[in-house]
Amino acid sequence: MFATLSDRLADTFKNLRGKGRLSEADIDATAREIRIALLEADVALPVVKEFVAAVKERARGEEVSGALNPAQQVVKIVHEELVAILGGETRRLRYAKNGPTVIMLAGLQGAGKTTLAAKLALWLKEQGKTPLLVAADLQRPNAVNQLQVNGGRVGVPVFAPEPGNGVGDPVSVARASIEEAKRTLHDVVIVDTAGRLGIDAELMQQAADIRTAVNPDEVLFVVDAMIGQDAVTTAQAFLEGVGYDAVVLTKLDGDARGGAALSIASLTGKPVMFASNGEKMTDFDLFHPDRMASRILDMGDVLTLIEQAEKAFDAEQAAKAAAKLTGQGGEFTLDDFLEQMQQLRKLGSMSKIMGMLPGMGQFREQLENFDEREIDRVQAIIQSMTPGERANPKMIDGSRRKRIAAGCGRTVTDVNQLVDRFFEARKMMMSMAKGGGMPGMPGMPGMPGMPGPGKRGKAKQQPRKGKGAKRGSGNPAKAGAKKPGNPAKTGSNPFGGDAPIDYEQAAADLNLPKDFSKFLK
């Protein structure tokens, strides 16, 4: 969603690299480029003006003028200002001290409230809560049925006493759900209300009546992040007509410009609490302003990646694989490789995972074109092998590769590439696990052909006197004697040095017999 904005800002910061000081013209040019980038991203004009003014003021301050690297300092300023307009700090749910916590969802038609209600229920379930979904959207056709289906997908019960499709009183349903939650010992109630328009006074009044009936602990305004400036207008209308405590952004994985996400918190004063960035029920989490700002500036989001990995990865399997890579638990096999890939698959889309790493913005096109089915093809090839072949890939010869290719419907070339990549990956991972660094990276220890820790490459050295002169000197008399029959006092350096070697002095340094010179004739 923020691809265009990220690219424009990255190009702006490139122009600052290499500058020891920032002139007034540099600051004005940078501010102008940032203003254009934000306006192209459909950020509200008042937010753009405030943002650019803050960046210019801080850029003219001592924190930049005295900095060693002004470009990095400007990036830091922009990052901090982005965090500010996105809400500052992460906003978390408030839970009721007594009785069930009531969460009411409101928003426009088509914003994705019903799907988001199920995502929120699953998220709360993973937090150790026992949520209850309430079907209070009785206007939209099949809204009740959709919530029941989604509730079944996430394993959360749905309270739906009315069939919907224009039948029933949503205020009564919402009020009855509180008693039902108390009776069935559910500690969180999620009320899904009908979508409405800001100009629809009747439906706005209905939402206000539901709020009065259930007295929710949190009212969340659900907004489609792809609708641009209309999202801000609707958010202000809902704030005045119904009121809400926080915002939930949906469809953050879309290809729109994303200005709504950067505008709502600043203009309404209400923080963004949650964000939905995919179609899966697990594509939902707390909204972290600092992490979103880092993504926009192509700094990655490693913390979110770590959190997802902690949820998805099996710690015991990971420990076994690590032991094998260090040579303490046997050899790392294709079975272990497949297990690691399957755990990685639990994190979700590989494109999204790679996108969380710093600096991946420059590879955006490759990530967008990545074929997610490649992992399925690799899995098919490995599972077409016998247990012995997976345990010892070195035994896979030409005939075996042909049989494996036929068994999985791939070509022999595909099998060859997988086996070769496995050996390369195992070698790299073993080197890293043992602290040897990554093979092929200059200056890193543990690489073939590179000096190990504490060693230096062989530079041209001045010849040393002593044993080195005697050893490997070949025929020094012949090489160094100026006149036949005379002892050679000096000779050319057989080791490639420019300075000649004084063999007489070398003999003296070694405390050899005085007549040692006769051996040099």
Amino acid 118: pLDDT = 93
Per the listing, tokens 């229920």 go with: 121
Question: How many CB atoms are closer than 10 A to CB 457?
Answer: 6
Q: What's the whole-number mean pLDDT along residues 401-423?
A: 89
- Confirm whether residue 108 is marked as ligand binding: yes
- Confirm whether residue 110 is marked as ligand binding: yes
Question: At 440, is the pLDDT very low, low, confident or very high (cuts 50, 70, 90)?
Answer: very low
Question: At 467, is the pLDDT very low, low, confident or very high (cuts 50, 70, 90)?
Answer: very low
Delimit the CATH 1.10.260.30 region(s) of the chain: 306-433
Q: What is the pLDDT of residues 197-235, one digit of tens each?
A: 656 777 778 888 888 898 999 999 888 877 766 777 778
- Confirm whether residue 252 is marked as ligand binding: yes
- Could you list the beta-strand ranges (E) of 58-123: 101-107
Helix, strand and coil content of the chain, in percent to the nearest 5, comes to 50, 10, 40
Amino acid 129: pLDDT = 92
Delimit the CATH 3.40.50.300 region(s) of the chain: 101-296
- Confirm whether residue 192 is marked as ligand binding: yes
Q: Which residue has the higher pLDDT, 70 or 142?
A: 142
Amino acid 469: pLDDT = 43
Strand partners, 188: 101, 131
Mean pLDDT, the chain, integer: 75
Q: Which residue has the higher pLDDT, 145 or 504?
A: 145
3 state SS of 11 = helix
Mean pLDDT check: name the lowest of 18-32, 41-55, 195-209, 434-448. Answer: 434-448
Mean pLDDT check: name the lowest of 81-85, 334-338, 402-406, 477-481. Answer: 477-481
Amino acid 174: pLDDT = 92
Q: Over 70: is that where the pLDDT of 517 sits?
A: no
- Confirm whether residue 258 is marked as ligand binding: no
Short-list 289, 283, 210, 204, CA closest to 246: 289
Q: What's the whole-number mean pLDDT along residues 56-61?
A: 82
Amino acid 454: pLDDT = 40
- Confirm whether residue 194 is marked as ligand binding: yes
> What is the pairing mode between strands 490-491 and 501-502?
antiparallel
Mean pLDDT check: name the lowest of 38-42, 171-175, 367-371, 515-519. Answer: 515-519
Cα 146 from chain centre: 32
Q: What is the pLDDT of residues 231-249, one digit of tens each?
A: 777 788 788 878 888 988 8
Amino acid 403: pLDDT = 92
**CB of 78 closer than 8 Å to CB of 9:** yes
For residue 367, count CB atoms less than 10 angstroms from its CB and return exposed for 0-12, middle for 13-18, buried for 19 or more.
middle
- Confirm whether residue 90 is marked as ligand binding: no
Mean pLDDT check: name the lowest of 282-296, 378-392, 446-460. Answer: 446-460
Q: Over 60: is that where the pLDDT of 485 sits?
A: no
3 state SS of 485 = coil
Per the listing, tokens 């899966």 go with: 280
- CA–CA gap between residue 43 and residue 229 (Å, rounded): 7
Delimit the CATH 1.20.120.140 region(s) of the chain: 3-85
Short-list 179, 154, 276, CA closest to 220: 276
Question: At 355, is the pLDDT very low, low, confident or very high (cuts 50, 70, 90)?
Answer: low
- CA–CA gap between residue 296 and residue 12 (Å, rounded): 13
- Confirm whether residue 101 is marked as ligand binding: no
Tokens of 67: 């900095």
Which residues contact residue 447 at a Cβ distance below 8 angstroms, ignoring those fewer than 6 apart?
431, 436, 437, 439, 440, 441
Q: At what angle do helices 3-14 and 24-40 cross, to 10 degrees?
A: 170
- Confirm whether residue 113 is marked as ligand binding: yes
- Confirm whether residue 114 is marked as ligand binding: yes
Short-list 6, 29, 25, 27, CA closest to 82: 6
Q: Over 70: is that where the pLDDT of 397 sits?
A: yes
**CB of 182 closer than 8 Å to CB of 171:** no
Amino acid 13: pLDDT = 78
- Topology (CATH level 3) of domain 101-296: Rossmann fold (3.40.50)
- Confirm whether residue 253 is marked as ligand binding: yes
One of 1.10.260.30, 3.30.43.10, 3.40.50.10490, 3.40.50.970 is the CATH number of 306-433, namely 1.10.260.30
Mean pLDDT check: name the lowest of 85-99, 123-137, 192-206, 268-282. Answer: 192-206
- CA–CA gap between residue 443 and residue 5 (Å, rounded): 36
Question: At 69, is the pLDDT very low, low, confident or very high (cuts 50, 70, 90)?
Answer: confident
Question: At 505, is the pLDDT very low, low, confident or very high (cuts 50, 70, 90)?
Answer: low
Q: Which residue has the higher pLDDT, 72 or 194?
A: 194
CATH number listed for the domain at residues 3-85: 1.20.120.140
Strand partners, 133: 158, 190
Q: What is the pLDDT of residues 258-272, one digit of tens each?
A: 676 678 888 888 888
Q: What's the whole-number mean pLDDT along residues 369-398?
A: 85
Amino acid 464: pLDDT = 46
Q: Over 90: is that where the pLDDT of 315 sits?
A: no
Amino acid 64: pLDDT = 61
Q: Which residue has the higher pLDDT, 182 or 22?
A: 182
> What is the pairing mode between strands 218-224 and 101-107?
parallel
3 state SS of 420 = helix
Question: How many CB atoms are closer than 10 A to CB 497?
Answer: 14
- CA–CA gap between residue 441 and residue 447 (Å, rounded): 8
Q: Over 60: is that where the pLDDT of 436 sits?
A: no
DSSP states of 358-416: TTGGGGHHHHHT--TTHHHHHHHHHHTS-HHHHH-GGG--HHHHHHHHHHHT--HHHHH
**CB of 274 closer than 8 Å to CB of 285:** yes
Question: At 256, is the pLDDT very low, low, confident or very high (cuts 50, 70, 90)?
Answer: low
